[in-house]
A and B are shown apart, each in its own frame.
Chain A
Amino acid sequence: GAGVSQSPSNKVTEKGKDVELRCDPISGHTALYWYRQSLGQGLEFLIYFQGNSAPDKSGLPSDRFSAERTGGSVSTLTIQRTQQEDSAVYLCASSLDGKTQYFGPGTRLLVL
């Protein structure tokens, strides 16, 4: 079956611009996670959605980061006023049981 998909696969933007990253989870998976992978910080948790519950935003690094999940499926991660330190690979994962997470291919973001 289809796995987690993410778009775009690569994004180059200028400092100060806003970007939107999209994640399509595996069909039927109620849990969705965003992580960031950077050279300096490794893999870090950003945000977690479970069904219709309020998201766990405890990993978002600043108020420039936000995410939403529409209809319990597709999720969009938005970064406002991008900074060079936002350059990283943004990974999305989904889970049926909340325990085992399956990852998408990631979006590589470069902020110039």
Chain B
Amino acid sequence: AQSVTQLDSQVPVFEEAPVELRCNYSSSVSVYLFWYVQYPNQGLQLLLKYLSGSTLVKGINGFEAEFNKSQTSFHLRKPSVHISDTAEYFCAVSGGSNYKLTFGKGTLLTVNP
């Protein structure tokens, strides 16, 4: 069985400040890890993914994440956020035969001017 814990349900930050959204996972099999972003009344947009290889992955909109196997973490970071980054962010894990995604509860990032 797999599970994902997003440690913060809400993260308020000021514009141009750095941000880290935390994600921890558990799995009994090798995993693939993802971050998705959801803007109001929209579907999920893929930000970045870790499938294999380098543990530091870069995604769209200046976001990056680091896979840490020993700490079972996949935290999302951005060095300087914009108002337009305000959205809900979901960490997800997949593995096993059907690759279904197991999601965390989401983190609402609010960027204030």
Binding site for B on A (CB under 8 A): 4, 6, 31, 33, 35, 42-43, 45, 48, 50, 56, 59, 91, 93, 95, 98-106, 108
Q: Is there contact, CB below 8 Å, between A99 and B32?
A: yes
CB distance from A102 to the nearest CB of B (A): 7
List, in ascending order, chain B residues with CB within 8 A of A98's CB. Answer: 99
Among residues of B, the one whose C-beta sits closest to the C-beta of A9 is: B41
CB distance from B49 to the nearest CB of A (A): 6
Q: Is there contact, CB below 8 Å, between B106 and A91?
A: no
Q: Is the interface of A mostly helix, strand, loop or mixed?
A: strand
User: How far does the alpha carbon of A102 sit from the alpha carbon of B100 in the complex, in Å?
Assistant: 12
List, in ascending order, chain B residues with CB within 8 A of A6's CB. Answer: 43
Partner of A43, one of B32, B46, B103: B103
Taken residue by residue from 27 to 51, chain B's Cβ proximity to chain A (1 for < 8 Å, 0 otherwise) reads as: 0000010101000011111100101
List, in ascending order, chain A residues with CB within 8 A of B13's CB. Answer: none
List, in ascending order, chain A residues with CB within 8 A of B108's CB. Answer: none
26 sampled A-B residue pairs with Cβ under 8 A: A31-B99, A35-B101, A42-B103, A42-B106, A43-B103, A43-B106, A45-B101, A48-B98, A48-B100, A56-B100, A59-B100, A91-B43, A93-B44, A93-B101, A99-B49, A99-B51, A99-B94, A100-B49, A100-B51, A101-B34, A101-B46, A103-B36, A103-B43, A103-B44, A103-B45, A105-B43
Partner of B102, one of A45, A48, A101, A108: A45
User: How far does the alpha carbon of A99 sit from the alpha carbon of B31 in the complex, in Å?
Assistant: 10
Among residues of B, the one whose C-beta sits closest to the C-beta of A91 is: B43
User: How far does the alpha carbon of A48 sit from the alpha carbon of B34 in the complex, in Å?
Assistant: 18
